[in-house]
């Protein structure tokens, strides 16, 4: 009987734990810094329990960055690369989440529209070039007027 290959076989648990710890630390330090800035401006501070979701999002994002980054770019497969990626994920994770939650569906639809518009614009340009208008700037001619019956006072 054949043994199946596990997708988790190549994962190094120590790298995952290190990236999670680094991302969580960076996320908490960033939140602490922003709270100090709020305090200096005299703004009310949110309770520390609100840090937990940001820390978790930063930790998850940092681990994903640390696992995917070295696969995409081999020089990041080092202690400095993993640390940088985990820290960047710890900082960027909550910011990305805030952007998505603030703009929500609009952000996704805007991205989808821009992704679809590129190929469709190229298709429209090619279709216009086939009609003898290489730049796609020739105006569309108006449709012909319907024929008027003989003896119509409103006709020509």
152/156 Cα distance (integer angstroms): 9
Question: pLDDT tens-digit profile of 36-92?
Answer: 898 999 998 877 787 788 888 889 999 999 999 988 988 888 999 999 999 999 999
Please tell me whether residue 151 adopts helix, strand or coil conformation: coil
Question: pLDDT tens-digit profile of 137-147?
Answer: 666 667 777 77
Question: pLDDT tens-digit profile of 90-110?
Answer: 999 888 887 777 776 676 677
Judge whether 136 and 124 are in contact, CB under 8 Å: yes
Per-residue exposure over 60-84, b if at least 16 CB sit within 10 Å of its own CB, e if not: bbbbbbbbebbeeeeebeeeebbbb
Entry pTM: 0.59
144/82 Cα distance (integer angstroms): 67
133/117 Cα distance (integer angstroms): 20
């Amino acid at each position: 009987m054949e043994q199946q290959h596990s997708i988790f076989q190549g994962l190094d648990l120590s790298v995952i734990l290190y990236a999670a710890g680094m991302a969580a630390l960076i996320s908490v330090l960033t939140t602490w810094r922003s709270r100090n800035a709020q305090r200096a401006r005299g703004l009310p501070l949110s309770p520390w329990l609100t840090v937990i979701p940001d820390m978790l999002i930063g930790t998850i994002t940092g681990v994903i960055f640390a696992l995917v980054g070295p696969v995409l770019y081999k020089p990041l497969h080092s202690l400095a690369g993993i640390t940088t990626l985990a820290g960047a994920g710890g900082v960027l994770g909550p910011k990305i989440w805030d952007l998505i939650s603030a703009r929500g569906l609009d952000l996704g639809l805007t991205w989808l529209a821009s992704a679809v518009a590129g190929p469709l614009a190229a298709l429209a340009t090619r279709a216009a070039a086939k009609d003898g208008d290489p730049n796609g700037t020739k105006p569309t001619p108006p449709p012909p007027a319907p024929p008027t019956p003989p003896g119509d006072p409103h006709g020509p």
